[in-house]
């Protein structure tokens, strides 16, 4: 973990010494802001790969270890969402700045504290559906990829919906692994899973109507459950 050795604490080294010339014209608050930006940037460079200028998977791993959060933890995904990170496993400077600024965190410890607040924010219904869609897109790693394989979809479901909708998720995952009709999940189906959890009574399923516009995969899922029940 070579990057750990360059870990920054509290004070940061000045990055742009030459900017000091117009110091007198800057207000105190803007000074503070620029200090914040500096610290955020420095934090970035602590984890970024020198040649690519991005934080890559290795960097993220060490970042997570510093944060004391597992890199498979859903909170990291939430962080990525907050950053509007485009590519899974990578953070650009812009994304990093965006996320940390929004969280008002310019140090590891502040970032760590902000996580619980972030969770609450994501949990709000309007944010959550956006986060939910984001998490799917985040998994489309290849160019022009539109679907994710069943295995990954199951993992993702567990990660993002497991907390709120444990019984539905468990059942759905069981079904997805069992069925043979679909080998991949697309965005439309993904979206419908959340809608299903939100709208359909579980486990009774009494308000599910297959004649409505539910995607076929859910029709089959419901049928499968009903068959097992009878």
Partner 1 sequence: MSQHKRPFSCSRSGGGGGGTTTTNSNSSGASGGSALLSPDSSSSMKKAKPLPAATCSLEKEKNGLHHHSHHFDTAAVAAARPGKEEDVMLVDQEELKPGASVPVAMTGVAANLSRKKATPPQPSAKKQLVIKFVKGKPSVPANFEEDTWATLKSAINAIFLKRRDPCDSEKLYQAVDDLCLHKMGGNLYQRVQRECEIHISRALSSLVGQSPDLVVFLSLVEKCWQDFCDQMLTIRGIALVLDRTYVKQTPNVRSLWDMGLQLFRKHLALSSEVEHKVVTGLLRLIEKERQGEAIDRTYLVYCSDLIDQGFTMLMEANRVDDLQRMYTLFQRNRPAELIAKFVDEKLRAGNKGTSEEELESMLDKVLVLFRFIQGKDVFEAFYKKDLAKRLLLGKSASIDAEKSMITKLKTECGSQFTNKLEGMFKDIELSKEINDSFKQSSQARTKLPTGIEMSVHVLTTGYWPTYPPMDVRLPHELNVYQDIFKEFYLSKYHGRRLMWQNSLGHCVLKAEFPRGKKELSVSLFQAVVLMLFNDTQRLSLQDIKDSTGIDDRELRRTLQSLACGKVRVLQKIPKGREIEDEDSFVFNEEFTAPLYRIKVNAIQMKETVEENTSTTERVFQDRQYQVDAAIVRIMKTRKVLSHTLLITELFQQLKFPIKPVDLKKRIESLIDREYLDRDKNNPQIYNYLA
Residues in contact with partner 1 by the rule CB under 8 A? 146, 186, 188, 191-192, 195, 211-213, 215-216, 219
Minimum separation from the CB atom of position 95 to partner 1 (A) = 26
Nearer to partner 1, 88 or 191 (CB): 191
- Sign of the torsion formed by the C-alpha atoms of 162, 164, 166 and 169: negative
Nearer Cβ to partner 1 (2/144)? 144
Name the residue nearer to partner 1 (CB basis): 13 or 213. 213
Residue 216 C-beta: closest distance to partner 1, Å: 5
Minimum distance between the CB of residue 223 and partner 1, rounded to whole angstroms?
10
State the maximum Cα–Cα separation within the chain, in Å, rounded to a whole number.
79
Find the DSSP H helices in the chain.
28-47, 57-67, 74-83, 93-102, 108-123, 125-138, 150-161, 166-178, 187-199, 216-229
Do residues 196 and 214 touch, judged by C-beta distance below 8 A?
Answer: yes
CB of 213 to partner 1, least distance (A): 4
Nearer to partner 1, 29 or 229 (CB): 229
Q: Are strands 147-149 and 184-186 parallel, antiparallel or unpaired?
A: antiparallel
């Amino acid at each position: 973990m070579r990057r750990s050795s360059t870990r920054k604490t509290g004070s940061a080294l000045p990055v742009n010494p030459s900017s000091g010339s117009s110091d007198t014209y800057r207000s105190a608050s803007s000074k503070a802001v620029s200090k914040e930006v500096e610290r955020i940037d420095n934090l970035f460079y602590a984890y970024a790969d020198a040649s690519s200028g991005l934080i890559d998977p290795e960097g993220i791993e060490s970042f997570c270890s510093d944060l004391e959060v597992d890199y498979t933890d859903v909170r990291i995904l939430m962080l990525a969402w907050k950053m509007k990170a485009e590519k899974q496993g990578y953070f650009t400077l812009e994304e990093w700045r965006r996320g940390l600024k929004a969280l008002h965190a310019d140090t590891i410890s502040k970032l760590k504290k902000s996580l619980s607040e972030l969770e609450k924010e994501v949990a709000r219904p309007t944010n959550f559906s956006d986060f939910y869609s984001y998490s799917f897109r985040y998994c489309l790693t290849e160019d022009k990829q539109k679907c994710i394989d069943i295995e990954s979809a199951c993992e993702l479901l567990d990660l993002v919906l497991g907390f709120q909708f444990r019984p539905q998720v468990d059942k759905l995952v069981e079904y997805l692994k069992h069925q043979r009709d679909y080998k991949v999940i697309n965005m439309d189906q993904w979206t419908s899973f959340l809608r299903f959890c939100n709208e359909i009574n579980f486990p009774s399923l009494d308000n599910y109507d297959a004649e409505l516009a539910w995607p076929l995969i859910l029709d089959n899922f419901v049928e499968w459950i009903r068959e097992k029940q009878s």
